[in-house]
């Protein structure tokens, strides 16, 4: 990369940073954006898309080209941070604390594939002639999100469906919007019907949540310095562990791609996550995990994710979205219907307590991102008095390495291409049946407990 290209990169990153700042202030001023709790990164992305050559033409194609390249790199940073700074509990403890949440989460995640494959097989292929791997964009966008969709661009390209990249990004955009809008509708409905344990009416959302600007009394440190700034900047210190995680993932990436021709398009980001797990495990074994500050890793992860989302939306190819408008809309509606049905009908019968709180945090995560799920949970359980938050946290330890951007998500288009849609549908059906059977044998299913459960049972 020469000096001119480096300058272009600096300008492009500066522009996306300015758009993020503008999006934050815009949300703080416009009540319509506050009511739908639209993240600043989405606002920034839509503004960037409006300024792109596809719309107003204010920005140059070179800037858009750089923005389009950022998400595929930043997603490895996001996934490398996933488990850094977390004490990794035993699988026995995870199952004991979150067994029902684990089964529910996997039924929801694999169910997104099931619904998408079924709709694609019986409706979208006959009517619109979409390729079979079209079915994978629902889970990649909803449960995976913008980062996962960006990381899958190379996979879609290698399988002869490059449009899957833009469709996956649009799926993630629809997903996060659905998570906020329909999540709030679920919260209001549950509060009015008495299904929420701690709120009897929807109430008012705290002002700082709406505006995005924290009141002075609610401000908190971004992280804790575990090393002296005389030696190294604490954030740079933690970035070193992220770098090692990505390097380990890259070494595994080089090896995986040589195993089989089908795996030559395997993405880097899930292996960066495994690298992070390995670094965390090694840190614990060497007794240096005490100097790893989880909030610092979250700041690195959050910064990367905000830039990733904004640049991904701003560089969307609108031609592709319009071309696949009808089948894409049908697929999105099918995914939304699946998640609403799970939240309202399966959650009350699978969760032993706080069924709505457990269900709504899962709805937010499975359609949008983990942060949206926790935001919805905060509204119905402000002080985390129910078991929903810890159960969800333990479930994520098992879920994230596989779905929502994990290994299964990474290979799903390749599996659909290799097995064919009927074979892949049969396999997903079997996996869902297995988790439902495990839930039955474990005694998780029960009759609807009614609206007035105790917080601790």
Instruction: Kindly list the domain boundaries of the chain, sorted by start residue.
Output: 3-212+227-441
- Structure token digits, residue 151: 């990381």
- Structure token digits, residue 364: 């937010």
Angle at the Cα of 17 (from 16 to 19), degrees rounded to 5? 65
Residue 335, pLDDT score: 95
**Over 50: is that where the pLDDT of 358 sits?**
yes
pLDDT digits (tens, 9 = 90+) for 271-303: 898 899 899 999 999 989 899 998 999 899 889
**Over 60: is that where the pLDDT of 202 sits?**
no
- Structure token digits, residue 359: 């269900």
In three-state form (DSSP H/G/I as H, E/B as E, the rest C), the secondary structure along 24-68 is HHHHHHCHHHHHCCCCHHHHHHHHHHHHCCCCCCCCCHHHHHHHH
**Confidence category of residue 457, pLDDT binned at 50, 70, 90:** very low
CA atoms within 13 A on the CB side of 255: 7
Residue 456, pLDDT score: 42
Pick the more confident residue, 8 or 37.
8
CB-based contact 169:141 (threshold 8 Å): yes
**Over 90: is that where the pLDDT of 223 sits?**
no
The mean predicted confidence, pLDDT, of the chain is 86
**Over 80: is that where the pLDDT of 204 sits?**
no
Burial of residue 235 (CB within 10 Å: 0-12, 13-18, 19+) is middle
pLDDT digits (tens, 9 = 90+) for 45-61: 999 999 999 889 898 99
CA 112 from chain centre, in angstroms, equals 14
Nearest in space to 345 (alpha carbons), one of 334, 336, 356: 356
The helix/strand/coil state of 342 is helix
CA–CA distance, 119 with 126 (Å, rounded to integer): 10
Residue 147, pLDDT score: 82
CA–CA distance, 83 with 67 (Å, rounded to integer): 27
pLDDT digits (tens, 9 = 90+) for 308-337: 889 988 988 888 888 999 999 999 999 999
CA–CA distance, 238 with 37 (Å, rounded to integer): 31
**Over 90: is that where the pLDDT of 436 sits?**
yes
Nearest in space to 131 (alpha carbons), one of 117, 145, 112: 117
The contacts of residue 271 (CB under 8 Å, 6+ apart) are 248, 249, 250, 252, 253, 256
pLDDT digits (tens, 9 = 90+) for 129-180: 999 999 999 999 998 888 888 888 888 988 899 999 999 999 998 998 888 8
CA–CA distance, 134 with 141 (Å, rounded to integer): 12
The stretch 409-430 carries a mean pLDDT of 92
Question: What is the tally of helices (H) and strands (E) in the chain?
Answer: 22, 0
CB-based contact 11:63 (threshold 8 Å): yes
**Confidence category of residue 196, pLDDT binned at 50, 70, 90:** confident
Sign, Cα dihedral of 271, 273, 274, 279: positive
Pick the more confident residue, 330 or 258.
330
């Amino acid at each position: 990369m020469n000096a001119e290209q480096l300058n272009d990169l600096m300008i492009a990153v500066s522009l996306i940073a300015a758009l993020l700042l503008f999006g934050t202030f815009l949300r703080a001023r416009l009540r319509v954006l506050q009511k739908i709790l639209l993240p600043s990164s989405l606002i920034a992305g839509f503004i960037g898309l409006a300024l792109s050559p596809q719309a107003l033409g204010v920005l140059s194609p070179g800037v858009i080209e750089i923005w389009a390249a950022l998400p595929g790199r930043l997603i490895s940073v996001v996934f490398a941070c996933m488990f850094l700074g977390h004490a990794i509990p035993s699988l026995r403890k995870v199952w004991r604390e979150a067994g029902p949440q684990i089964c529910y989460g996997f039924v929801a995640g694999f169910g997104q594939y099931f619904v998408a494959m079924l709709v694609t097989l019986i409706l979208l292929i006959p009517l619109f002639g979409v390729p079979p791997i079209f079915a994978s964009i629902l889970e990649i966008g909803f449960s995976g999100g913008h980062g996962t969709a960006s990381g899958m661009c190379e996979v879609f390209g290698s399988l002869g469906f490059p449009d899957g990249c833009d469709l996956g990004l649009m799926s993630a955009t629809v997903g996060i919007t659905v998570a906020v809008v329909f999540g709030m509708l679920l919260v209001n409905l549950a509060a009015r019907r008495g299904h929420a344990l701690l709120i009897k009416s929807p109430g008012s959302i705290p002002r700082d949540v709406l505006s995005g600007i924290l009141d002075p009394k609610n401000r908190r440190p971004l992280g804790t310095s575990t090393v002296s700034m005389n030696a190294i900047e604490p954030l740079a210190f933690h970035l070193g562990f992220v770098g090692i995680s990505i390097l380990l993932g890259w070494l595994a990436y080089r090896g995986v791609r040589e195993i089989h021709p089908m795996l030559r398009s395997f993405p880097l980001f899930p292996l960066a996550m495994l690298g992070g797990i390995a670094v965390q495990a090694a840190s614990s074994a060497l007794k240096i995990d005490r100097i790893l500050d989880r909030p610092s890793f979250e700041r690195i992860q959050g910064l990367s994710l905000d830039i990733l989302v904004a640049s991904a939306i701003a560089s969307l190819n609108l031609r592709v979205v319009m071309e696949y408008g009808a089948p894409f809309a049908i697929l999105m509606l099918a995914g939304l219907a699946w998640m609403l049905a799970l939240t309202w009908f399966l959650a009350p019968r699978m969760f032993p307590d706080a069924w709505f709180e457990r269900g709504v945090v899962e709805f937010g995560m499975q359609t949008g991102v983990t942060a949206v799920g926790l935001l919805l949970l905060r509204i119905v359980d402000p002080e985390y008095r129910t078991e929903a938050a810890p159960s969800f946290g333990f479930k994520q330890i098992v879920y994230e390495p596989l779905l929502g951007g994990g290994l299964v998500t990474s290979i799903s288009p390749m599996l659909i291409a290799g097995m064919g849609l009927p074979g892949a549908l049969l396999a997903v059906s079997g996996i869902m049946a297995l988790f439902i059977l495990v839930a039955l044998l474990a005694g998780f299913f029960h009759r609807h407990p009614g609206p007035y459960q105790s917080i601790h049972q």
